Structure 1
Amino acid sequence: MQGWIRANKGFLLFLTLFGIFRTAVADWNPIPSASMHPNLLEGDVVLVNRLAYNVKLPLTDIVLGHTGEPQRGDIVTFSSPQDGTRLIKRVIALPGDRVEMRDEQLIINGQPSSYALLGDGRETVGAAGTLRTVQLRETMAAGAAAPHAIQLLPQVNARRNFAPITVPPGQYMMLGDNRDNSADSRYIGLVPRALLIGRAVRVLASADIQGNWHPRTERFGMDLYSPH
């Protein structure tokens, strides 16, 4: 065994440094579901900046210090407070925010978000089959990095309303952009800061994993915060 280690020490060092880089500096996250439609598609692989909010002890989830604060509109990866599954959603409300939803409209600190119609389409949703979608541009009056697209599924039975809540210190409300097809804070609860992994920055690569597996080259390098 010791002889094998000596013979492969360069490769083992590479694996160790690679693991440190992925767990402490930057990572990539495949998109497995439709919860962030229309902005992220199944088969996208996104670059995640792990230093955006926290510095963690390499190869662990131990937070050594904070490097920045999540902002409304950030797309973040985090561990689900329900079962630890890695998820990717958008930050909607910050600590201290009072937030509610009325018929899909977000109201943050008493300020209603505004919506502009972008178009419609079709999406296959499990046993329900192919359903009509409505795509809107959402502008959060309370302030966000930029307006962003969301998607609604009018035929789906979803949680389109919730009573006002005030987000406690150190926690965040996360919602999927595909509002009627996302297991987010409406179902799994608010997300503590300690469970944040990083801020998604751009699409590294993309392939049509639900079709012919052809690369979607037009999505390569796509900035997640620029209109597209």
Structure 2
Amino acid sequence: MKESVKHSISAFMRGWIGSFLVALLVATSIKSAVADWYVVPTGSMKPTILEGDRILTNKLAYDLKIPYTTLHLATWDDPQRGEIVVFHSPRDNKRLVKRVVGIPGDVVAMANNQLYVNGKAMAYRFVQPSDLEKLDSGQIKQYSVYVEDLTGHEHQTMITPGQPSIRSFRPIKVPEGHYFMMGDNRDNSADSRFFGFIDRDCILGQATTIVISLDIFNHHQPRWSRFFSQLD
């Protein structure tokens, strides 16, 4: 009788552990190849993304990869100018979120924080201070926000004159299979100005939505207005 009970318990445990491992494998495979979320720890994408935002990454936006690898099973699209993507940094392999400003073949330059793409200066429109309330206490230094028209894709950028940064660089051509990334917080972003072009295989997916937002400067209070908001 005791042996029968032990056998039943052992069979139950083996079945439970097996089911758990299968469920774990399925869940992590989905996270690796289909969708994931990324907790943003810095303000390099302000004013679009704030510290404490949890952003959804669509890993099927451009291709299908073998789970846990960067090997492509199929590719149906490529990142476009203006899109926000998550990728592995070539410097330390950490996940970063930035905006695509240069695609393969583009010539990108900057002069005093004005971006040029293929010889054309991007247009900027100043945002009045009343529209800056969403930039909370995490931003200490004085800043200005502009709407940048990135070859037809409008989005907000931020500059901080008192912050040391690379505000100008000569025209550089983006090689095939690579992308030039920049943070919307132009004077406080470690991006392609510092670590160079991003290989297509390093791009994990497109950041599409702020799922949850917690104000890390105010006891992690929810920023309800940012919940489930789409990224521009």
Instruction: Give the SS at the match of 1:116.
Output: strand
Matches within 5 A, 1:137-216: 137-140=147-150, 143-144=151-152, 146-216=153-223
Aligned-residue RMSD, C-alpha:
1.8
| Residue deviations 1:16-37 (CA, integer Å, cap 9, x gap) | 1101110111111111100000
Identity %, equivalent residues: 39
| Counterparts of 1:191 and 1:5, CA distance in 2 | 45
Please report how far the alpha carbon of residue 123 of structure 1 lies from its aligned counterpart in structure 2 after TM superposition: 7.4
Higher helix share: 2
2:36–2:59 contact (8 Å) kept in structure 1: yes
Instruction: Give the SS at the match of 1:21.
Output: helix
1:124–1:131 contact (8 Å) kept in structure 2: no
Please report how far the alpha carbon of residue 15 of structure 1 lies from its aligned counterpart in structure 2 after TM superposition: 0.8
Structure 1, 179-188 or 60-69: larger mean CA deviation: 60-69
Equivalent of 1:35 in 35, 44, 47: 44
Instruction: Give the SS at the match of 1:164.
Output: strand
Stretches of structure 2 lacking an aligned partner (at least 5 in a row)? 1-9
Equivalent of 2:27 in 14, 18, 32: 18
Q: Equivalent residue for 1:54? A: 63
Please report how far the alpha carbon of residue 73 of structure 1 lies from its aligned counterpart in structure 2 after TM superposition: 0.4
Q: Equivalent residue for 2:94? A: 85
Output the amino acid matched with 1:192: D
Output the amino acid matched with 2:43: A
The answer to whether structure 1 residue 109 and structure 2 residue 150 are counterparts is no
The answer to whether structure 1 residue 224 and structure 2 residue 200 are counterparts is no
Output the amino acid matched with 1:137: V
The answer to whether structure 1 residue 132 and structure 2 residue 138 are counterparts is no
The structure number with the bigger radius of gyration is 2
| Counterparts of 1:47 and 1:104, CA distance in 2 | 29
Please report how far the alpha carbon of residue 92 of structure 1 lies from its aligned counterpart in structure 2 after TM superposition: 0.1
Q: 1:181 to 1:83 in 2, by over 3 A?
A: same
Alignment length (residue pairs): 218
Stretches of structure 1 lacking an aligned partner (at least 5 in a row)? none
Q: TM-score, normalised by structure 1?
A: 0.90
1:123–1:131 contact (8 Å) kept in structure 2: no
Output the amino acid matched with 2:22: L
Instruction: Give the SS at the match of 1:72.
Output: coil
| Counterparts of 1:165 and 1:29, CA distance in 2 | 30
